[in-house]
Amino acid sequence: MNRGRAVGALIGLSGGTFLYTTAEALPIGLLLPMAADLAVSPSQVGTLVTAYGAVVVVASIPLTALARRIPRRRLLSALLAGFVVSTATTVFASTFELLLAARMATAATHALFWATVVPAAAELFRPGLRGRVVAIVFAGGSVALVLGVPAGTWLGERAGWRVAFLAVAGLGAIVLVAVASLLPSTPPNQGHAARGATPDVYRFWLLVAVAILTTAGAIAAYTYVALFVTEVSGFPDSSVGAILLARGVASVLGILAVGAVVDRSPWLTLVATVALQTVALLGLYTTGHRPTAAVGLLALAGLAFAAFTAVLGGVVLQVAPGRSDLAAATVSAAVNVGITGGALVAGLALPGHGVHSTVLLGALLGVVALLIVAGGFNLRPARHGQRLTEVQEAHQTTGRRGARR
């Protein structure tokens, strides 16, 4: 494959993460108009998001195991086609029950897409570019939170929530064509990204634990961020959107920045992102009453967490104890467990201890994750497979540079 086609396929895969993230979160911004149109309560519309996450947690591993023999281009094309159909069904759903069924179908394709997209993207380029490539793929998700969800919310408020989902389905059709025409038809069990470069069961499961804790910490602090900046930092309600935009922009920058260093020092980068998020949340807890400090620390926390998610993808490709897609499915499920768990514990802490406590809770979860990633991963070296640097050197000596042919 020539480099231009590889880059085009990578952009298409990043577009896929943009679509799935937008579709997953869009009901949050359109909660009230959807509830009014369907004659249900806002809390029922909220279940469209929680049920979506539950399907991803439950379905990621079994669906990946079932699809283990399907070539990646065929699989990803089918998943994106399923995304388009299920999202279009959302547009024409006449009852809440049909809408919920369509959302769960989208979530099932989401679960398998995220498990497959990381190794599929990494396979497009030489091993030395894995981290950078994964960062570009994950950048699509961050851009969705900065642009996709706000734009969809804006469109839905003015033209109706169904029009917003129709626009997402239309974009999905464009991404489907790009992926189907540009992605090579690679068997899932072949290529340097099919299995971990330095397989290690011990470190992989520690990584899963860190993914749950770090994600839970980030979500615990973020779930009630609008309440925090108004009640603690003293901002007016009208400023919340701008503050969240600043955090979103910082998230994109975090992913792009981490892509430049993760290939050289994946473990150090992982420690740094967890530490940076923890420090930012501790700072927010102690100085969040100062408006300028609150904005800066919220942006820093967003940058750190977005960078962490990108590092996760690269490290999974390093330590996966078996097939990398199955390992990616496990970590994807872990992240969704963290999302659900973080929102749950923050909701439990809020009534009795106030919104300030949710930030402290997020920081404490980060401390535990930091102890695991800094101490646990160093208890013993990886004992299985070649070191990543050796694999990179072997590929470099064959003269294969840039996009794989």
The CATH number of 201-390 is: 1.20.1250.20
- The tens-digit pLDDT sequence of the chain (405 residues) is 678 888 999 999 999 999 999 998 888 778 788 888 999 887 788 788 888 888 998 998 899 889 888 888 999 999 999 999 999 999 999 899 999 999 999 999 999 998 889 888 888 888 778 778 888 888 888 888 888 888 888 898 889 999 999 999 999 999 999 999 999 877 766 666 667 667 778 888 998 999 999 999 998 888 788 888 888 999 887 787 788 888 888 988 888 888 777 777 787 888 899 999 999 999 999 999 999 999 999 999 999 998 998 888 788 878 888 777 788 888 888 988 988 888 888 888 888 888 889 999 999 999 999 888 776 655 555 444 444 444 443 444 444 444 444
Domain 3-182 identical in fold to domain 201-390: yes
List the alpha helices (DSSP H) in 71-199.
72-91, 96-122, 130-143, 149-159, 161-182
Phi, psi of 40 (to 5 degrees): -130, 170
Q: Count Cα atoms within 13 angstroms, Cβ side, for 143.
A: 14
Distances (CA, A) of 248 to 12, 271, 305, 331: 21, 22, 11, 23
Helix (H, G, I), strand (E, B) or coil at 199: coil
Residues 240 and 226: beta-carbon distance below 8 Å? yes
CA dihedral sign, ordered 146, 151, 157, 160? negative
Which residues touch 255 (CB under 8 Å, ≥6 apart)? 135, 138, 139, 142, 306, 307, 309, 310
pLDDT tens string 280-292: 999 999 999 999 9
What's the predicted TM-score (pTM) here?
0.80
Closest CA to 19 of 185, 137, 191, 192: 137
**CATH architecture of the domain covering 3-182:** Up-down Bundle (1.20)
Phi, psi of 98 (to 5 degrees): -65, -40
The neighbour count for residue 32, using CB atoms within 10 Å, is 12
Angle of helix 3-29 relative to helix 161-182, nearest 10 degrees, comes to 160
Residue-level pLDDT at 81:
97
Q: Where are the domains of the chain?
A: 3-182, 201-390
**How distant is the alpha carbon of residue 397 from its chain centre?**
34
Residue-level pLDDT at 380:
56
Residue-level pLDDT at 397:
40
